[in-house]
Structures are given as structure tokens and as C-alpha cells.
Amino acid sequence: MNQDKLQQQIKQLAAEKNALLIAHNYERDEIQEIADITGDSLALSIEAKNTDKQVIVFCGVHFMAESAAILAPDKIVVLPRADAGCPMADMVTADGLKTLKKQHPDATVVTYVNSSAAVKAESDICCTSSNAVSVARSVKAKKLLLVPDRNLGRYIASQVPEKECICWDGYCPTHDQLKVAEIKQAKAENPDALFMVHPECQPEILELADHICSTSGMYEFAAKTPAEKFIVGTENGILWRLRKENPTKQFIMPSQCLVCPDMKLTRLEDVLQCLETLEPRITVAEDIRIKAKQALDKMLAVPRD
């Protein structure tokens, strides 16, 4: 079946099943094209919580659909590809976190949403890349355990020098690969370009940035900044909307490595099948869900800076 036909069928079936199609900013172009909403992890969690629709088709990776299932237990949440995970989220387990907490009983655990429900359940508060600094500032404790991304952790630590920060040693295999030499070369070739970057990149990369932000933060920055050229320090799925919303501007990928294989797993055929069967369904055991929801709700209550 050709792409247009598949997209039409998906939209029709989504309407019949009262389903909301949501897609992360890194999904394939053809998936983002048919989504009711595209966004970063924070925006998508909020949409999942607030929608009146009965079914949420989450085109993204497992932890994102799990967050939707935690926040909206009365809805059916489906993830078109059950094998779409996040290697960084898998770098911390609830048992590992429990051990670290025992070593630092006076610390508050701030956990990036890129984590399992079981890890969130062991956490005091969650954060995303768009609110991480506000969340860290909102916490009263002087000592923070920042889990699981060491790069986001080090970025947060640089913004809250008044706190002691202990970072879990996890990382995103996609963002962590970006090299200083690649950014320097892209800048040398495009001296008039601004460099915007995701905080999952290494600190040496963030030092070279004009703007550090979440994926959705990049749409805002590109739209409101008069600059005509941008070097993009995040996964290449972001280009579709950047180019659509800013047709006269130029967006440059500094490296071939900025592809998340998990985000690219979902295809239109998977979305159609998932709508037909309402499987694979994402659920969370109620005891874990309640605790994980507390950490997410605390995050959602933090005002943005």
C-alpha cells in the first residue's frame, strides 16, 4: 500500500476508535505528518493526561508510553513497536537506585523521565530536558541524586552551583557520540549559524552552544531568533518540523551519528496494525504506578522559569 493510502487509513481508524495519535519530535517524517500532536517528552505527557480520547497511540519509545499510562490509567495506551526502548533508560534499575539512595539518605532523587516506571517509583521528583533546571531549583534539599543521564546531570549541576549533585553514570548513546571536532567544523563552515543543542550531549559540546534546550525548545528558538542558519545538536527527526515551520531558514546537522535507532523503528504499518488490534498495550502495576505518578505530578506542579 502506498504512503498516502496508509496515512488515510490510519486517520480514519483513529477517528473510529476515538484515538489520539501522538508522536515524539524524533519520529520518522511520515509519522509526524499524521500525528494529532508532536512534541517533547513533557508536552506529550501533559497531552496524554489531558486528552478526552479513550485511546492514546504513542509513537515514541517505551518510557514515554509508560508515562502516559501512569498519568492516564483510565485510557488505553498503545506503543506501535513494543521493542522501541531507550538504552539510557535501561542504564538504571530500581534496585541500583535503591542502593545509591542508601548511600545518600539526605539526598533528593531527581529522575529524568527517560527512565522506567519502577525507577520513577523510587524517585522524589521527575524532570524532563525542558524543565530540569527549574525542577532542581524547586527542590529544598542541598544534595541531589540526578538519574540516569550524566550529561543532563552535569548540565543541571552547572546551573545550581549551590547544590551538591551526584550524577548516575548513564548516557544517551546517540547524543553522547557528538564530537567537539564536528561542531567546530560545522561552525567554521557556517560562521553565521547559531548552535542549539540538547542537554544530553557532553559538557564540552554544551560549552560551544548558543542555546541549550529540549527538542521543543529548538522549535521556539528557531522561530523567534532572527538568525537564518542553525547547527542542530540533537536527533535528526527534529528537522521535519524545523524546516516546515521555518521554510526560509537553514538547518545543518553537524554529524551522521545523530540518529536514534529506537525512534526510527515505528513505521506507518505498525501504527495501522496497532490501531486495528489495540496492541501492544502499555500498563503499569498499580503499586508502582501510584508512586511513579507522585514523582511525575510533583514535576508537573513546578512552574517553568
Residue with cell 541549550: 212
Give the one residue of 27, 47, 124, 235 binding ligand SF4; rule: CB under 6 A.
235
Q: How far apart are the first and last CA of the chain?
A: 47
Residue pair 196/213 in contact by the 8 Å Cβ criterion: yes
Nearest one of 71, 83, 149 to 117, comparing CA atoms: 71
Task: Supply the minimum distance, in Å, between the C-beta of residue 296 and ligand SF4.
Answer: 18
Count CA atoms within 13 Å of residue 64 on its CB side.
33
Instruction: Assess 132 for contact with ligand SF4 (CB under 6 A).
Output: no
Ramachandran quadrant class, 278 (left: phi over 0; alpha: psi -120 to 50; beta: rest)? left
**24 Cβ partners below 8 Å, 6+ apart?**
38, 39, 40, 41, 44, 59, 60, 61, 64, 215, 237, 263
Closest CB to ligand SF4 among 14 and 97?
A: 97
Binding partner at 27 among ligand SF4, ligand 13P, none, C-beta below 5 to 8 Å by kind: none
Task: Supply the minimum distance, in Å, between the C-beta of residue 180 and ligand SF4.
Answer: 19
Binding partner at 129 among ligand SF4, ligand 13P, none, C-beta below 5 to 8 Å by kind: ligand 13P
In angstroms, the CA 205 to CA 183 distance is: 8
Give the one residue of 130, 174, 236, 266 binding ligand SF4; rule: CB under 6 A.
174
Instruction: Assess 87 for contact with ligand SF4 (CB under 6 A).
Output: yes
Instruction: Assess 88 for contact with ligand SF4 (CB under 6 A).
Output: yes
- Near ligand SF4 in 247-286, by CB under 6 A: 260, 262-263
Residue pair 68/48 in contact by the 8 Å Cβ criterion: yes
Q: Which triple of cell numbers denotes residue 263? A: 525512534
Q: How many residues bind ligand SF4 (CB under 6 A)?
A: 14
Residue with cell 552547572: 158
Task: Supply the minimum distance, in Å, between the C-beta of residue 172 and ligand 13P.
Answer: 5
Residue with cell 509513537: 59
Site string for ligand SF4, 150-169 (x = CB under 6 A): --------------------
Task: Supply the minimum distance, in Å, between the C-beta of residue 189 and ligand 13P.
Answer: 25
Instruction: Assess 114 for contact with ligand SF4 (CB under 6 A).
Output: yes
Which residues contact ligand 13P (rule: CB under 6 A)? 25, 40-41, 114, 128-129, 172, 198, 200, 214-215
Stretch that binds ligand SF4, among 9-17, 83-91, 178-186, 264-272 (CB under 6 A): 83-91
Binding partner at 87 among ligand 13P, ligand SF4, none, C-beta below 5 to 8 Å by kind: ligand SF4
Q: Which helix (H) or strand (E) holds 266?
A: none
Ramachandran quadrant class, 72 (left: phi over 0; alpha: psi -120 to 50; beta: rest)? beta
Interface residue list for ligand SF4 (CB under 6 A): 61, 86-88, 114, 172-175, 200, 235, 260, 262-263
